[in-house]
Amino acid sequence: MPMEQYSKKQVSLTIALASFLTPFMISATNIALPSIQAEFAAKAVSLSWVATSYLLSTAVFLVPAGKIADIYGRKKLFMLGIIIFTLASLFSAFVPSIQWLIGMRILQGLGGSIVMTTAVAILTSVFPPQERGKALGINVSMVYIGLASGPTLGGLLTAHLGWRSIFYMPVPLGVVIVLFTLYSLRGEWADAQGESLDIPGSLIYALSVILVTYGLTVLPAISALLYIALGLLGSIAFVASQLKAKYPVFNVRVFKNNRVFAYSNIAALINYGATAGVTFLLSLYLQYIKGMPPQAAGLVLIVQPIVQALLSPTAGKLSDRIEPRLISSLGMGCTALGLFLMIFLHFETSLSYVLAALIVLGIGFALFGSPNTNAIMSSVSRQYYGIASGAVSTMRLLGQNFSMAMATLLITINLGDASISPSTYELFLNSSRLSFSIFALLCLTGIYFSYSRGRLRTGSSGENPEP
């Protein structure tokens, strides 16, 4: 598409607004769960599905949505995703039961998956390699601003206007994004035009992701191991089907032929797998062990995403000039250091120590996130941008689910059926320290994959290869 047809700043703004919207809704909805439970008298299992259904739906559609976008146009799919997400949010505000809300959350997840996979692909299509890292860094900043502001704004809306008001908020912003898309993205990107969607492969992928993700959410139940095992078998079947497909929904050969792509995705999986449970554990630590009210704990925890939001554009810009593997490896190391500091949390730990550890984590996340995404997106040719974006989003979701499952499993093993109370505080601290130790070791492993991925710009690693 001719560069004259759009303004890069307008494109960046449009994508940034969309990248803020979806994570904001995730964190804002989570803060409203107690109010939702009170109105519908929902059981704990049903309430958990308000969050789980969104994650499952998002994970299922990420890779197929990327392929569809590559075939039919990333702008079309992006706008469709925003429309679905906005309408599902609006309908969620009027649901008469918890079952209807879960249904709308599934639709929200569909729209969110389309937005996630097309947003990064559009930025990669618009910005040349020497400007791509900065654009992706701004995008990452907006994601974390959304995550950070969700609990605060969501809490205020829920307290003063009720939980349904949270679902009104995306509507005007969604309309603005659609209008911006129509007027600032005046071309189209369909670099795999003429290919077709591999429906059998998409179904196998969806079933495999559902089984693994659901299995992680029900740990430590024995049935969880069965679900995860079946999901892994399904993944093997998916790989086999993709090797035979004429137009695979995900070209698995890219993992064999493109070291940068393969190792960068593994590094992303490890990084998210080592960090997503940190906020959960620290929230419990601050409220139970340190006796902070939820609002005060939230203000402490917001430090990490604020640091990341401030530094991500700079980290992304650096990755345009310096090998991304160097910056993201440093970021993985900083993350490991932050997790190592968390291992020493105890009853008398000062607030300044917790804040220092969160700042180190924020620096690590910022240095790793956008440079690693830049490496992934810049390592494939244009017709695979949608698939590559879907792959890194899938790594993020699987890593997040693993991290939460690991943290929850270790708490359950240590506490059993007991709740967190003064008599079990020491057991909770032991499980948290063990989680942080495992997460830190994971990050040390991640440094290897991050650094060993190869050089992106010399061609030795196969920049923009044909898988």
CATH code of residue 38: 1.20.1250.20
CB 244 within 8 A of CB 197: no
Work out the mean pLDDT of the chain and round it to a whole number: 84
The whole domain housing 112 covers: 6-191
Instruction: Check pLDDT > 70 for residue 6.
Output: no
Q: Which long-range contacts (CB under 8 A, 24 or more apart) does 30-38 make?
A: 30/150, 30/151, 30/154, 31/150, 31/151, 31/154, 31/155, 31/158, 32/154, 32/158, 32/163, 32/166, 35/158, 35/162, 35/163, 36/98, 36/101, 36/163
Q: What pLDDT is recorded for position 45?
A: 64
Among the candidates 175, 191, 207, a domain finishes at 191
Residue 279 sits in the same domain as residue 242: no
User: Helix (H, G, I), strand (E, B), or coil: what is residue 417?
Assistant: coil
Instruction: Check pLDDT > 80 for residue 36.
Output: yes
11: Cα separation from own chain's centroid: 21
Instruction: Check pLDDT > 90 for residue 444.
Output: yes
Q: For residues 53-83, b (16+ Cβ closer than 10 Å) or e, as one string?
A: bbbbbbbbbbbbbbbbbbbbbbbbbbbbbbb
Residue 34 sits in the same domain as residue 156: yes
Share of the chain above pLDDT 90, in %: 26
Over residues 155-175, the pLDDT tens digits come to: 788 878 888 988 998 899 999
Residue 348 sits in the same domain as residue 319: yes
Q: What pLDDT is recorded for position 192?
A: 66
Total number of domains constituting the chain: 3
With vertex at residue 91, the alpha carbon angle to CA 95 and CA 41, rounded to the nearest 5 degrees, is 20
Residue 202 sits in the same domain as residue 187: no
Residue 67 lies in a domain: yes
Q: Specify which of 63-72, 89-98, 240-249, 304-313 reaches the highest per-range mean pLDDT.
A: 89-98
333: Cα separation from own chain's centroid: 20
Over residues 91-142, the pLDDT tens digits come to: 999 999 989 999 999 999 999 989 988 888 888 888 887 788 888 888 888 8
Q: What are 120's two structure tokens?
A: 């990064």
Residue 230 sits in the same domain as residue 260: no
Instruction: Check pLDDT > 60 for residue 459.
Output: no
Residue 334 sits in the same domain as residue 424: yes
User: Helix (H, G, I), strand (E, B), or coil: what is residue 287?
Assistant: helix
Residue 218 sits in the same domain as residue 261: no
Residue 349 sits in the same domain as residue 450: yes
Higher pLDDT, residue 330 or 31: 330
Instruction: Check pLDDT > 80 for residue 372.
Output: yes
CB 364 within 8 A of CB 231: no
Residue 26 sits in the same domain as residue 175: yes
Among the candidates 246, 263, 283, a domain finishes at 246
Among the candidates 167, 191, 215, a domain finishes at 191
CB 390 within 8 A of CB 65: yes
Higher pLDDT, residue 322 or 188: 322
Amino acid making up residue 280:
F
Indicate the helix (H) or strand (E) that contains 168: helix 164-168
Q: Averaged over 373-394, what is the pLDDT?
A: 80
Q: Given pLDDT bands bounded at 50, 70 and 90, which one contains residue 465?
A: very low
Q: What pLDDT is recorded for position 29?
A: 81
Is the preceding omega at residue 248 within 30 degrees of 0, hence cis? no
Residue 187 sits in the same domain as residue 212: no
Residue 1 lies in a domain: no
Q: Given pLDDT bands bounded at 50, 70 and 90, which one contains residue 418?
A: confident
Instruction: Check pLDDT > 70 for residue 461.
Output: no
Neighbours of 196 (CB within 10 A): 12
Q: Given pLDDT bands bounded at 50, 70 and 90, which one contains residue 181?
A: confident
Residue 266 sits in the same domain as residue 240: no
Higher pLDDT, residue 462 or 214: 214
Amino acid making up residue 451:
Y
Q: What pLDDT is recorded for position 369?
A: 85
Residue 346 sits in the same domain as residue 464: yes
Residue 95 lies in a domain: yes
With vertex at residue 416, the alpha carbon angle to CA 414 and CA 421, rounded to the nearest 5 degrees, is 80
Residue 32 lies in a domain: yes
Over residues 296-345, the pLDDT tens digits come to: 777 888 888 889 888 988 888 888 888 888 999 999 999 999 999 999 99
Higher pLDDT, residue 83 or 33: 83
Q: What are 254's two structure tokens?
A: 């890219």
Instruction: Check pLDDT > 50 for residue 9.
Output: yes
Closest alpha carbon to 58 in 81, 86, 42, 77? 81
